[in-house]
Amino acid sequence: MKKIHILICLLSLSLFASCFDPKNEKTQIEVIDNDRHYYPIQTGQPLDVVFKVKNIGSHPLIMTDIITSCGCLLINKSTTMNIPAGEEGLVSVTYNSTKNVGYVKHWIEVYGNFKTAAKVELIFDVNVVPDALYSKDYEELHQMEKEKNGNIKDLVDGKANNKGYYMSFSE
């Protein structure tokens, strides 16, 4: 009889434990160095932006969604989606500046089980400057394309300015 009573108690405990959902437990978050201003970068340069976030509440922090203000922001896999109470985590994005010139301001909306609001905004800005104030000619574009592909042709054939010379023989 006691065995059945203990079994019923264990079964009811496991049933109540499965009803506990940590997403329903609210917690507080602290963003370290929010609203950042980065030094200027050239068009096409990537910018890695990493925000430290700290769970200052007493329950686990569970980030349910991260939404960026632009498709030029890529969320990195190193982003910490679950942070235990009292611990720090990272929200990491890479900014692709290829199609931007000038002052750019972006934000990242983080949704989770926050006590004070439904979301937290992480904000940064940067000036994107063009790499030259003139249009590139075909020679420069060709050189950039070769460098992008690893300059394999130069390694095999030699550089255009270092091929030596040749002589023509007339017979």
What are 44-94's pLDDT values in tens digits?
888 999 999 999 989 999 999 999 998 999 999 988 889 999 999 999 999
Sign of CA dihedral 7, 10, 16, 21: negative
CA distance 25 to 61: 9
| pTM to 2 decimal places | 0.64
CA distance 125 to 21: 37
What is the per-residue pLDDT for 156? 67
What is the per-residue pLDDT for 92? 94
Provide the CA 171 distance to its chain's centre, in angstroms.
67
**Mean pLDDT per 10-residue interval, the chain, length 171 residues:** 66 54 77 88 89 92 92 90 92 91 94 90 91 74 79 65 50 62
What is the per-residue pLDDT for 161? 47
Tokens encoding 2: 């006691």
Strands in 46-55's sheet, in edge-to-edge order, are: 29-32, 46-55, 88-96, 73-75
What is the per-residue pLDDT for 11? 59
What is the per-residue pLDDT for 165? 47
Beta strands in the chain (DSSP E): 29-32, 36-37, 41-42, 46-55, 61-68, 73-75, 82-83, 88-96, 102-112, 119-129
